[in-house]
């Protein structure tokens, strides 16, 4: 009877674990950073990509971040507007500088955005070179040019670009476009690329949506965050096989405010706990069967001393 009660309690606890995990999966949140180009500040917070609801965490960032990837000790990493590799505490939004990111010595060059693949953090610069980053110091190691167009702002002060670097299915991708702010006409059409992380060479996949600056995978859906040059900012689902996007919701970000980095939040309930619960139930079940066998044979379940 006692073992039956224990098994029942464990099954109830296990069901609660699975219910919580399922509920979490149905209501996803992601970490995002925004850049306000009206005053060049930023915000950090969480966002529901399905509804577009944003909740700020911490204070306004005096030095906005571009790109967001997992870092050490549960922190996140991003590239600051001043060219540093920064660490952000997701619980408080507090930012600390790790170190400057040295990129190739070219006129007006600066780090652009980052992504993480298999434990390695990659970064691009305004000339579309690819680097690996030392996440302890910020030091950059050049891999090579990607072949993606350079940021048009290097030659024109009325032209800007949108770029995001992201990973999906164990592969490294990027999107890029350039636009004239006076005419809102593209100077570089929005394209999706797959990048060889060993050589840096990018291969064109297909056209994609304009204004993409960040992407994050949640519950097997890749969400992209796009700046709306002629309309509201939007959240889109992105197919990395062909660049196709599907509208999900409008983003709450106002005029000239972009989501410039996104990263998945950790699961609030680890499925490891579910595994422990299953193992415990199996142990109780085996113990009950063992006791039943001993009772049927009249033998003692206690170990004999020899």
30 bridge partner residues: 47, 264
> What is the spatial distance between Cα 43 and Cα 58, in angstroms, rounded to a whole number?
8
Radius of gyration from C-alpha coordinates of the chain = 25
User: Considering the chain, what percentage of its residues have pLDDT values greater than 70?
Assistant: 78
pLDDT tens track for 39-56: 999 999 999 999 999 999
With contact defined as beta carbons under 8 Å apart, do 64 and 34 qualify? yes
Mean pLDDT (whole number) for 86-90: 98
pLDDT tens track for 139-168: 999 999 999 999 999 999 999 999 999 999
The residue that leads in pLDDT, 15 or 180, is 180
Mean pLDDT (whole number) for 250-273: 78
Pairing of strands 171-180, 186-195: antiparallel
Q: Output the pLDDT for position 84.
A: 98
pLDDT tens track for 95-136: 999 999 999 999 999 999 999 999 999 999 999 999 999 999
Mean pLDDT (whole number) for 205-225: 97
> What is the pTM for the complete model shown?
0.80
């Amino acid at each position: 009877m006692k073992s039956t009660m224990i098994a029942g309690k464990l099954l109830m606890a296990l069901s609660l674990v699975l219910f919580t995990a399922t509920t979490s999966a149905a209501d996803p949140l992601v970490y995002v950073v925004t850049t306000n180009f009206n005053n060049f500040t930023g915000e950090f917070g969480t966002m529901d990509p399905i509804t577009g609801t944003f909740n700020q965490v911490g204070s306004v960032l005096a030095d906005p971040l571009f790109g967001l990837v997992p870092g050490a000790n549960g922190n996140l990493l991003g590239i600051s507007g001043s060219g540093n590799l920064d660490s952000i505490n997701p619980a408080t939004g507090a930012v600390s500088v790790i170190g400057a990111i040295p990129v190739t010595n070219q006129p007006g060059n600066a780090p652009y955005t980052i992504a993480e693949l298999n434990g390695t953090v990659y970064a691009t610069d305004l000339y579309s070179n690819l680097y690996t980053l030392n996440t302890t110091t910020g030091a950059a190691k050049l891999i090579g040019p990607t072949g993606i167009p350079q940021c048009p702002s290097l030659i024109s002060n009325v032209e800007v670009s949108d770029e995001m670097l992201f990973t999906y299915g164990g592969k490294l991708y990027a999107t890029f476009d350039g636009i004239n702010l006076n005419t809102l006409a593209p100077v570089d059409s929005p394209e999706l690329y797959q990048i060889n992380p060993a050589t840096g060479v990018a291969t064109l996949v297909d056209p994609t949506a304009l204004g993409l600056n960040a992407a994050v995978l949640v519950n097997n859906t890749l969400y992209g965050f796009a700046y709306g040059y002629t309309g509201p900012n939007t959240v889109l689902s992105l197919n990395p096989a062909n660049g196709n996007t599907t509208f999900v919701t409008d983003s709450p970000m106002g005029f000239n405010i972009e989501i410039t980095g996104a990263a998945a939040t950790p699961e609030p309930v680890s499925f490891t706990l579910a595994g422990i619960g299953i193992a415990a139930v199996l142990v109780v079940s085996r113990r009950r069967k063992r006791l039943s066998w001993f009772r049927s044979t009249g033998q003692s379940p206690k170990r004999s001393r020899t």
